[in-house]
A and B are shown apart, each in its own frame.
Chain A
Amino acid sequence: NAGVTQTPKFRVLKTGQSMTLLCAQDMNHEYMYWYRQDPGMGLRLIHYSVGEGTTAKGEVPDGYNVSRLKKQNFLLGLESAAPSQTSVYFCASSSGLELFFGPGTRLTVL
């Protein structure tokens, strides 16, 4: 089992550009999450999904969109990137209280 995988690992964008981060899990988990990690701020929830075809807003959803068309995939989109979105993005999945995290995507917006 690969667990939770994320692509890409690194990306540099210019302000205004768009991109999609892909998360995939092979554990048949119902719940999937996108977090961002900033120094001293811990992990903040952007969006989450409790099942295929469903999504919901987390703590910091502005500027992001998500889709869960297949149970194993959870996509995070930035329509018009801003420097404030420079961060490390983590995807996670769970079937209970234990979240399994991916290795992260380091995004820099210039």
Chain B
Amino acid sequence: GQQLNQSPQSMFIQEGEDVSMNCTSSSIFNTWLWYKQDPGEGPVLLIALYKAGELTSNGRLTAQFGITRKDSFLNISASIPSDVGIYFCAGLRDNNAGNMLTFGGGTRLMVKP
């Protein structure tokens, strides 16, 4: 069943606002990844995190690998309309087990111009 709890499930914000979303688990993950899915498309990788405590940025996006290895956070600064989509966190436990990822339920982001 679902092992990654992602929140919030949806957000409706004004253009220019900052956004925060997070992902938590009762299990430890060795790698955390954040994907974005545009409407009608498959998910695309945004950021990958490989070490507990790691903070990584990709443009206006910043993600952190929690110290406990049981959570991760994604922040988007100064949102724009093209940020609309569903954001998924994903965790990887065993790097040698076919790279099978566990996905969170997603955060649907809507941006009002």
- The interface bits of chain A over 68-97 (1 if a CB of B lies within 8 angstroms of the residue's CB, else 0) are 000000000000000000000010101011
What's the interface size class on A, roughly? 20 to 34
Binds A, one of B52-60, B63-71, B74-82, B100-108: B100-108
Residue of B nearest to A45 (CB): B100
Cβ of B113 under 8 Å from chain A: no
Of the four ranges (under 10, 10 to 19, 20 to 34, 35 or more), the interface on chain B belongs to: 20 to 34
CA–CA, A48 to B101, complex, Å?
A: 11
Interface residues of A in 29-45 (CB under 8 A from B): 31, 33, 35, 40-45
Taking Cβ atoms with an 8 Å cutoff, the residues of B that contact A are 2, 4, 6, 9, 31, 33, 40-45, 48, 88, 90, 92, 95, 98-101, 103-106
* 25 pairs of residues in contact across A and B, judged by CB atoms under 8 Å: A31-B98, A31-B99, A40-B9, A40-B105, A40-B106, A41-B2, A42-B2, A42-B6, A42-B103, A42-B104, A42-B105, A43-B90, A44-B103, A45-B100, A45-B101, A48-B98, A48-B100, A56-B98, A97-B95, A97-B99, A98-B33, A98-B45, A98-B48, A101-B42, A103-B41
